[in-house]
Structure 1
Amino acid sequence: MGVTFLHTADLHLGSPLRAVEAASESLAERLQRATHEAFRRVIQVALDEDVDFVVVSGDLYDQKARSVYANEFLVNQFKRLEDADIPCYVVHGNHDPLGAGAEKLPLPDNVHVFGADDVEIVLYPTDDKPAARIMGQSYGSQWESNALYYHYTPPDTAIPNIGLLHTGLDPNGQRYAPCGPSDLAQKDIDYWALGHIHTPRLVDGAPAAYAGIPQGRNVGETAVGGCLLVEVEAGSDPNIEFVPTSPIVWQEIVVDLETASTDGGSHLRNLADAERYLEERMIDLQNADQEALTDALGVPIADTDWAPEGFVCRWTLSGRGELFEALDEEATDVLATHLRKRWQSMSPFVWTESVRDHSAQPLPDLETLIESDEIISELVELTNEIREDDEAREELRGEAGDLWKWQTEEEHEDVPEEQLPLNDKRLDQLIDRALTRSIDELVTRRNNAN
């Protein structure tokens, strides 16, 4: 017989979404409450799924000093669980170590906080009739250099053993409970509920997972936030599903000027083209469904009706194109301002955090470069000689390495999964790409020197 529970971590209560420039008052309010709203949704998932219990794997608060508001909010959310007779088991992490701060308000009786002195064991639901064993140890200070996992040693495997651990999962790390997947796998733990990494993911080589952060806090945390629903039986692999909860999703979208084009197929030439193109991408975000937004996570996704309230976007213009000539700091600021004017009329909203210019001027066409530049002319001539020289091609095939598997036009043998097919046509493409990159680097260095 197994148990079903909710795994969450890295709440970072008290941390508003940051780095949003020129936000209106109404948007600023949404951003301010997003972190709390995400955790309220986490608790609602636990109630809707009627889980046996909830585990929190560290960093409940964003800072060592707990704010009264964050503490009161946390107490109220845990009371919702208490009213439903759902216990909650908590470890503290590097942002909220036990030795650095105290709760302003006491937590409800349904919450058990694991101490920092040693690994503790709690039996669910009672010591007399246990259905699961929960083990945990909190951080006592900001850094934890001890290999805490080593002391997670359950007395038996008759019931599911669940370990709460806040770790960077780096065996060489000296700050965040050093260990690796193989270390976790050797313990008789049926599920390791991990915290510290803010992107949800399953751990290869161990029955372990990171729940991720319920709500990303800045443009560096673009993954959809949420929690994990876990079903586990003693001696069996856990069944894990990710449940999205973040009301706001950060996006960093790179626009390649070499491929981006307007509806008519023309490349972006001026700010009007750029604005129309980015508005189209904003509409794409509005129309994106849950599957599209969570597909990159690599974690099984629960069937829910979740949808974001909105997106906060950083647009980065990169690559070479005509638009380069129209871009400077003032231009990107104006472009961002124009895009922001539309956010209130959109549902879900799309707010532009900033527009960044990482573009470069277009390269002259190859014929012009050959005629005007002796070095590039010699480089092209040398490349053509290599392309026609059988011995040189044979040498290039050898230099390509084990990543490539050579195939002639007549061969149709299967290529191993760890290799890519290489033939004469593909070799010509690689030679052309090497030439283009070499010319690009030469021109870039000369432009930078001028």
Structure 2
Amino acid sequence: MSKELLQLLCTGDVHLGRRPSRVPVENDELSVRRVWDRFVETALNREVDAAVLTGDIVDSENQMYEAYGALERGIQDLVDGGVEVVAVAGNHDHSAFPRLARSIDLNGFHLLGQGGTWDEVQLNGPDGEEAARFVGWSFPQATEHASPLADLERSETDGPTIGVLHCEVGSGEGQYAPVRRDALARAPVDAWLLGHIHAPDEHREGGQLQLYPGSLQPLDPGEPGVHGAWLVEVAPGEITAEKLPLASLRYKEFALDVTDLDAEEEIETQVLQSLREDLAGLSDRWPELSHVAYRLLFEGRTNLHREIEETVGQMARSLQPDVDGATATIEAFDLETRPDYDLEELAQGDDPPGVLAQLLLKLGDGDVDDTRVQTLLRRASKATSKVYESSRYEPLRHDSETREPPGREALRSMLYKQGLLLLDELHENRS
């Protein structure tokens, strides 16, 4: 370890014991455990000084024993390889991580701030002089409504101080250790390595690094983009951060314009060709990527709404193209298309297609003040809430997109798309 340059490999929100949703369950390459192993291997290969874990490394109490083997083995390998491990517990592993830590008796492993009190550890260089100091705070229970920063005190040190905290940065209100960015910036630390938010975010506040590494492996479609770990380098007067794309999975929204499609058989061809081209570009740029779960967004004017719904629905159940070892699936698709006939002209009639066209114009324009639209939204909300409250819905509550019942805007979009399919039927029969 050099006093002049300290290298840290940082990750958080690993959620060992949980599997990413809406991807092939038989593909073990997509497991969180495999990417955790890749994180450990990367830290050892790069010979970093410390691996920093910012909380929620274990998914929950229920997954503790499933996660234990991978976590223990990884920490053991890191310490044996000369890499110090500095960690805090988050809201998901507030109980499980300390229990696991008690059975991992290693001098190079430091779980800071147990019981909700600030703790620190000093990392020394080969000459015995202090290279850096870490201060950290762990969740004592599943929720924490107060900011933990009020109790932070720092010992005098000539070297850099790195804060490690699992928290929600924002307004200063919430149930997961809420803190304000300006409060973080005023704290006596040179950089913050944070956990809880799954979207990677490298932020500077008054020159101070406030880094959310994000989830190591994305866990559901609500976590799009590139995920992995961050290499943080601490030098005199400068702290830099570089994203390392270690994740094997990516969730991606992909738009397709179907305006020029004239026949049903063209749908499958365009979808397959477009996915292959995009997958080739992604796998070429991100070598660690082994799977992309696409959410297709169909745009443009077409009279093939029903055909798209049926064809892509079948493709989503079975399609899995392979490009140079990387595969793809369709995890969902949305129809944001419009009819290729004049909806406003159709709405002039007072027959069923005309009445439905009138309603669709209001739904499409977001006119939620219309009495009929309000009635539809109320009925849809009541129906979806009933489904959400049922016991059979429980498995879907682990997915960020289905954790809560759909809101007003989501219901409006759903009604609009279903209305288009119905209008296609009515318009076809009318013609």
With normalisation by structure 2, the TM-score equals 0.72
The structural deviation recorded for 1:271 is: 3.2
Once the two structures are superposed, the pairs formed by residues 229-244 of structure 1 within 5 Å of their partners are: 229-233=231-235, 236-244=237-245
Q: Which of 1 and 2 has greater Rg?
A: 1
SS of residue matched to 2:232: strand
> In structure 2, what is the Cα distance between the partners aligned to 1:155 and 1:105?
26
- Spell out, residue by residue over 1:377-415, the C-alpha distance to the aligned partner (whole angstroms, 9 max, x if none): xxxxxxxxxxxxxxxxxxxxxxxxxxxxxxxxxxxxxxx
Q: Does 1:336 align with 2:288?
A: no
> In structure 2, what is the Cα distance between the partners aligned to 1:361 and 1:315?
18
SS of residue matched to 1:288: helix
Matching residue of 1:392: none
Matching residue of 1:354: 332
SS of residue matched to 2:72: helix
The structural deviation recorded for 1:364 is: 2.3
For the Cα contact (< 8 Å) 1:95–1:142, is it kept in 2? yes
The structural deviation recorded for 1:121 is: 1.1
Unaligned runs of 5+ in 1: 259-266, 294-305, 374-439
Q: Does 1:41 align with 2:61?
A: no
Matching residue of 2:122: 123
The structural deviation recorded for 1:52 is: 0.8
> 4+ runs of 1 displaced by more than 4 Å?
289-293, 368-373
For the Cα contact (< 8 Å) 2:162–2:193, is it kept in 1? yes
SS of residue matched to 2:229: strand
Unaligned runs of 5+ in 2: 351-415, 427-431
Matching residue of 2:253: 252
> In structure 2, what is the Cα distance between the partners aligned to 1:230 and 1:189?
15
Q: Does 1:287 align with 2:287?
A: no
Q: 1:10 aligns with which of 13, 30, 40?
A: 13
SS of residue matched to 1:67: helix
- Spell out, residue by residue over 1:409-449, the C-alpha distance to the aligned partner (whole angstroms, 9 max, x if none): xxxxxxxxxxxxxxxxxxxxxxxxxxxxxxx9xx99xx79x
1:320/1:172 CA distance change after superposition, 3 Å: farther
1:331/1:7 CA distance change after superposition, 3 Å: same
Once the two structures are superposed, the pairs formed by residues 39-438 of structure 1 within 5 Å of their partners are: 39-98=36-95, 102-103=99-100, 106-109=103-106, 110-114=108-112, 115-125=114-124, 129-205=129-205, 206-233=208-235, 236-258=237-259, 267-289=260-282, 306-328=287-309, 330-337=310-317, 339-340=319-320, 343=321, 347-364=325-342
Question: Paired residues, what number?
Answer: 349
1:120/1:89 CA distance change after superposition, 3 Å: same
Aligned amino acid, residue 19 of structure 1: R
The structural deviation recorded for 1:326 is: 2.4
The structural deviation recorded for 1:278 is: 1.4
Matching residue of 2:26: 28
> In structure 2, what is the Cα distance between the partners aligned to 1:195 and 1:54?
14
Aligned amino acid, residue 223 of structure 1: G
The structural deviation recorded for 1:313 is: 1.7
1:346/1:241 CA distance change after superposition, 3 Å: closer
Aligned residues: percent identity? 23
For the Cα contact (< 8 Å) 2:147–2:172, is it kept in 1? no
SS of residue matched to 1:28: coil
Aligned amino acid, residue 252 of structure 1: E
SS of residue matched to 2:298: strand
Cα RMSD for the two superposed structures: 3.2
The structural deviation recorded for 1:255 is: 2.5
SS of residue matched to 1:335: helix
